[in-house]
Chains A and B, each alone.
Chain A
Amino acid sequence: MKLQFGKIFVFAVLWTLLLALLRTCNNNPWGNGAAAENTHYTTFAQKIRNLDPVSANFIHEAAVIDNIVETPLAYHYLKRPYQLVPQMLTELPTVIYYDAAGNALPGDPDATQVARAEYTMRLRPGILYQDHPCFREDSVPLVKHPRTPADFGPVAHREVTAEDFLVSMNRLCDSRVGCAVYSQLCGFLVGLSECRQAVEAEVRRLDEERRQAGESAVQLAEAPSLPDYRKIPCGAVQVVDRYTVKYVLSRKYPQFLYWLAMHYFTPAPYEAMVFYQRPEVRAAGLSLVTWPVANGPYQLTKCDLDFQIVLERNPNYHEVFYPAEGNPEDEGTEILSDAGKRLPFIDKVVFNWEPESIPSWMKFQQGYYDNSGLPPDMFDKALSMNPDGGDLSLSEDMAARGMKMATTVPPYSYYYAFNMRDPVVGGMGERQRLLRQALSIALDTRKFITIFRNGNGIPAEGIIPPGIFGMAEPPATMNTVINRWNGEMSVRKDISEAKKLLAQAGYPNGIDQVTGDPLVIQLDHAAAGRPDFKNHFRWLADRFQELGVRLEERGTDLNRSRQRVAEGDFQLLFERGWVGDYPDPENFLMLFYSENGHVEHHGPNYANYVSPEFDAVFKKLETMDNTPERRELIEQANRILYEDAPVIWDIHPINMILTHGWLHNYRYMSIAFDNLKYLRLDPQERSRCQREWNRPCHWPIWMLMALFTLAAFWPRKQR
């Protein structure tokens, strides 16, 4: 047999290359040694479009922004129900109420007496902004093609002052910035529309000056004029002195304090706006939308909104300490082991874009992400249900690997809304009310949660989620119209009760007594793309069918659906969700206040429910402190809603986050997202686990190569 030296040489090279290649191959996306650094790796699934604290409006954006900026108030990290604590302030703001004549009203006056409210907040001196070239006292040099603000050379910082809150508010009023909550703020802050007009007038004046100086319309469009926000007076914000700010409200609105914990109320340095106005900075696409300048615990060092966002510890962050107390059950547990230590603990946070849940989950399993949500497909693998109590816990395998699970019932409520303007299901007549009650009983959400959500949710009694003032555990606040107490828990009434109510409503066995036609309800939705929708709808239709009522789907796209809702062109609306803005019952009960009716007033009352009785109770409780009287009024409001049943109460979801054992102090926050500064890592443990869990497996590759070599050298028959 002739020796094939050429082929032997080729395969020798191939084997050597493979050997060298496989020695370098591993599945570590961060590179060797990264695990041992004090860096937290996490993900974002939805595209982040905006990091400007004034105009960013989505929760997934807040998850990043809230760790860069700092707000005057914050929620206590450990205590639940949520409690506000001063963050940039020396104490909680003080409020003085005034009547229409301008006289100060003592104590806690009735809302009808109050014509103006003034909240005074005193800043802690010495709070510094993060380092940024905009604060340099010398002129910032011209840099061609900058990629980040850091490219402009040395950086500086300055102290946060009261004037920065005026700048922030004036900028918020600038319509070009696009603050989505401006209209809401106009509802309680004094003089915002006048402030907007003043800003617009100043912009027009500056434009005119530039035109006269010879600038073209194109130049004006490319570099819009920047008004000096420091010099425009704003009725809502008064700068008392360097460290004292006064917010002026047009009515009694104690919930304003919660707004002070939202990123819209973070201070803004005017120097940053001037810096981002520079032509080469604008040309490079750098702006407050991508590179906010703030005073939070972290600062941006990489901002690729489509791929990766990197935050690093802000060296100028003022003294903030880990809380010394939490809930009673936290006493003596690990979560308080860092009490009193200075924050933040972690040096660097890397947010990676992971649009698909399965790859993200795999990386979490491999230890390359420190925390992860739970994809629905992985539910059975990751969790096991306790056969006694029905509680969910981590699977043995995952628990053995040191993983932990953090759960919370966030202030979210889901419901199916009836259109109260619809002649069949809407209105306040006895017939329609009984019909709505019957349909509400037919949908047993406890069963739904078991079948479709793996037990991951709480059946809603009403609109207020658990953990919010006024919503005690059943049976105290049980919805007695649709539920009964079985000795242990609140369960749906029997379907026979629903049939009785339906018959009383004039639809025995689902047949309209007047016309003799079967009752058909149309379900409006924009959820056809949801993988579970077909099964969900089938389940709903089957439940209604038990009453003899036919449910028909009326699907469309999201925008058409919104249009129909805006016009009141629907009967029953598929699973609406309300994410609470702040943990106060007012933020939930207002969904049924008549002046928030969606068709009439474009408000969030999507059912268009109008009840003078409910309105009267709501107006009373709206501005009250959390007193026993308020609790009684909330119960009264709930009872009215239970009776009228303008919506079918669905569920309050349970959110879950899984974390690895090396990530400490994780407590789920669902209202604000400034939790990164509290987290602590054990990088050595992470490094060890990653190595142990991710040893490459080479033998299948060697086998394939051997087979390939054998095939190449196998003697062949010559034709």
Chain B
Amino acid sequence: MLAYFLKRICYLIPILVGVNLLVFSLFFLVSSPDDMARQALGEKADRPEEVQRWKENRGYDLPLFYHAEAPGAQKITKTIFFQKSLTMFWGGFGIADSTGRDIGDEIRKRVWPSFALALPVFLGTLLANIFLGMKLAAVRGSRTDRIGQFLCVVAMSISALVLIIFGQYLGAQQLRLGPVSGFATGLAMAKFLTLPVVVGIFSGLGSGTRLYRTFFLEQISQDYVRTARAKGLPEEVVLFKHVLRNALIPVLTNIPIYLLMLFTGNLLLEKFFAIPGLGGYTIDAIAALDFAVVRAMVFLGAVIYVVGLLLADLAYCIVDPRIKL
């Protein structure tokens, strides 16, 4: 397993270089450093000399990939790609182009609100999906199952945005049980996060329950379930001990996606509930053409996703002893 682990870690380096190259190419395919400067300066101040000054101050006056006039190795090192993308591997995330603030500090500051929102949403959604999926699978074909599936389709059809606005209207405006939006640290955080967490869980219920029901149905028709029932085990034990454990592999496959969200934030929830997390940070950076932040966030996302997949692989072994890495 250790060899497998090390091999996967080694894969990480070319993946990250590739992701960096791709992000760099895509970004500068649609936006030039001049565009970035104009965006930052605003329309009234985007005179050519100010644009040039902005680029010089931030190191965007260099060629993208190859500096023909520079001597020796500087042909490569004196380029935007080297100085802005590759140096991230050893020099940290650097400074944001649009705000001049340290990106590492910003990420450290914003990751906790994102995490505080995403973790309960993730756990709540996972537990609710497992519980409801299992319950529907247990009564498959019945009227309850059909009603449940119908409600799932209804829930899937409602956009998250509508759910958020409705949730705010109901929870904060009509019932007046929680604030419409905002954030606080410490214990007061619970007051602000309850409503977005409930909305977040609810918005993932439709698709999740249907998906998990399918996983459980596959297992319920297996011989070992029939045997367990024949032994006279209570239905709860059959479902939540035997069926659940065997259905965990496809469940685990989904988890790295959620894991990524734990750190990179949920854009819609954060924006509508004014939670200063990482979701808005990336989107703001894209809107402001802040390449330094965009490449840092994509880099971070890629690392988390690859590590998440690796952890999922390791978890397979724990869940199913037949799997060997």
Q: Which residues of A contact B (CB under 8 A)?
A: 22, 25-29, 31, 47, 49-50, 57-58, 175-176, 178, 180-184, 285, 287, 289, 304-307, 352-356, 358-360, 362-363, 365-366, 368, 557-559, 562-563, 581, 602, 604, 694-698, 700-701, 719
Contact = CB atoms under 8 A, between A and B. Distances in A.
B48 interface: yes
Question: Chain B interface mostly helix, strand, loop or mixed?
Answer: helix
Contacts, number: 132
B102 to A, nearest CB: 6
B53 A366 contact: no
B105 A700 contact: no
Nearest to B35: A559
Question: Chain A interface mostly helix, strand, loop or mixed?
Answer: loop
A44 to B, nearest CB: 11
Give the most central of B43, B54, B169: most A CB within 10 Å.
Answer: B43
A581 B45 CA distance: 12
A695 B174 CA distance: 10
B320 interface: no
B282 interface: no
Interface residues of B, number: 54
B53 A701 contact: no
B272 A602 contact: no
Interface in B31-63: 31-32, 35, 38-39, 41-50, 53-54, 56-57
A563 B50 CA distance: 16
A288 to B, nearest CB: 11
Contacts of B149: none
Interface in B83-104: 98-102
A697 B168 contact: no
Contacts of B168: 358-359, 362
Given A27-B179, A285-B102, A362 B174 contact: no
Contacts of A365: 173
A626 B100 CA distance: 43
Contacts of A353: 274, 276
B99 A49 contact: yes
B31 A559 contact: yes
Given A178-B54, A559-B35, A559-B38, A289 B274 contact: no
19 contacts: A47-B284, A49-B98, A57-B42, A58-B42, A175-B56, A175-B57, A183-B49, A289-B99, A305-B99, A307-B183, A355-B272, A356-B274, A362-B169, A365-B173, A559-B31, A559-B38, A559-B39, A695-B176, A700-B175
* 10 closest cross-chain pairs (CB), A and B: A180-B45, A29-B179, A559-B35, A307-B276, A359-B181, A25-B177, A29-B182, A27-B176, A306-B276, A359-B180
Given A27-B180, A602-B47, A180 B42 contact: yes
A159 to B, nearest CB: 31
B19 to A, nearest CB: 24
B273 interface: yes
A697 B42 contact: no
Contacts of B280: 306, 355
Contacts of A184: 45
Contact of B48 (A304, A602, A604): A602
A531 B191 CA distance: 33
Given A178-B53, A285-B101, A57 B178 contact: no
A29 B176 contact: no
Contact of A362 (B30, B172, B276): B172
